[in-house]
Structure 1
Amino acid sequence: MSMIGEYARLTADEFARALRDPEWAGERVRELVEAELEGGGGEARCLDTDKAWHAPDFLLTRIGFPVDVVFGEESIPGAEDWGYTPPRCLTPERVRAAADALRATPVERLVEGVGPEDLARADVYPVVVWERGESLEYATAYYEALVPFFGAAARDGDGMLMWLD
């Protein structure tokens, strides 16, 4: 099995409820995922970063990124695992801070002076990808998807849930 990085945008009201009722949050996220799988139209409320989630975390941490956009900054009281981890979150204010910082951080800055061998040495998941010398584009493509996703969430005043599934 693989660990997949998952994200869900929730409106401010939904986010407040999710913090009080993690079981409801899980149901709401399943509804959002199903709606998108059925071609619900509109802007994406969910995003996954496949198995590349650890590489953006490594790259962002090394440059001192101000917001934890991979693991979130707060736990959700009472939340159980949604796969490999319980969901964590970013408040709407921290989503805005993340969106601003993401817009200001081009991919070139993330990967400057870094190659796949550095990720392999740091044991970045999935290590086998980096040991084979695969291009960092696998990770940076997902980073580039986070930029508009967080931008839309910030614009709409959304909170964010994230977890590994």
Structure 2
Amino acid sequence: MSMIGEYARVTPAELDRALGDPAWALELVGGRMETEAAECPQPELARCLDIDKAWDALGFLLRRAAFPVDIVHGEEAVPAADDWGYGPPRYLTPERVRAAAGALAEISGARLTAGVGPEDLAEAEVYPTVVWERGEPLDYVSEHYELLRPFFRAAADKGDGMLMWLG
């Protein structure tokens, strides 16, 4: 079983409700994920997005770039939430989503991965280590990063918050 980085855009009212009723939030997000799995909307139109197994590499690269927002793990825990896969969900407020979108606009995927090779990720034991030990290029990571940029921009433009978890 793989650990997949998952995101869901939520309105401020939905975020408030999710913080008080995480079971409701899981149902909301599950319904949206099911609908979007059939529709496959572009990131700027999507309410949900997954970055597959690129999450840990993105976290490593973003920390290296001193990125101002934790867009991989979120910054706050959803109180009293059950496990949504590999732990409970976390979230970003609309203000932090705006900050993240602004920072994402400043860094391209190519710039994020510049000067870093698979050997660096393997040495840092970045998940999934077997991929980096094989010497796979970081194109996979930069492609998923490039999906996050319009996803966060759309969320910021609409004033949305963000739920995130490893599923």
Name the TM-score, length of structure 2 as normaliser: 0.95
Aligned partner of 1:55: which letter? A
| Match in the other structure for 1:23 | 23
Equivalent residue for 1:125, pick from 118, 124, 127: 127
Identical columns (%): 64
| Match in the other structure for 1:84 | 86
* Structure 2 gaps, min length 5: none
Moved more, 154-163 or 104-113: 104-113
Equivalent residue for 2:163, pick from 156, 161, 164: 161
Q: Distance in 1 between the 2:79 and 2:142 partners?
A: 32
Moved more, 14-23 or 114-123: 14-23
| Match in the other structure for 2:34 | 34
Moved more, 103-112 or 119-128: 103-112
Q: Distance in 2 between the 1:137 and 1:129 partners?
A: 12
Aligned partner of 1:113: which letter? G
* Structure 1 gaps, min length 5: none
Q: Distance in 2 between the 1:40 and 1:109 partners?
A: 27
RMSD: 1.3
Offset of residue 112 of structure 1:
2.1
Q: Distance in 1 between the 2:129 and 2:166 partners?
A: 17
Q: Runs of 4+ in structure 1 displaced over 6 angstroms?
A: none
Q: 1:7 to 1:41 in 2, by over 3 A?
A: closer
Aligned partner of 1:4: which letter? I
Matches within 5 A, 1:41-52: 43-52=45-54
Q: 1:40 to 1:116 in 2, by over 3 A?
A: closer
Q: Distance in 1 between the 2:33 and 2:115 partners?
A: 37
Query: How many residues of Structure 1 are paired with residues of Structure 2 in the alignment?
Result: 165
Alpha-carbon deviations, 1:118-160, whole Å to 9, x = none? 0000000000111111010011100000000000000011010
Aligned partner of 1:138: which letter? Y
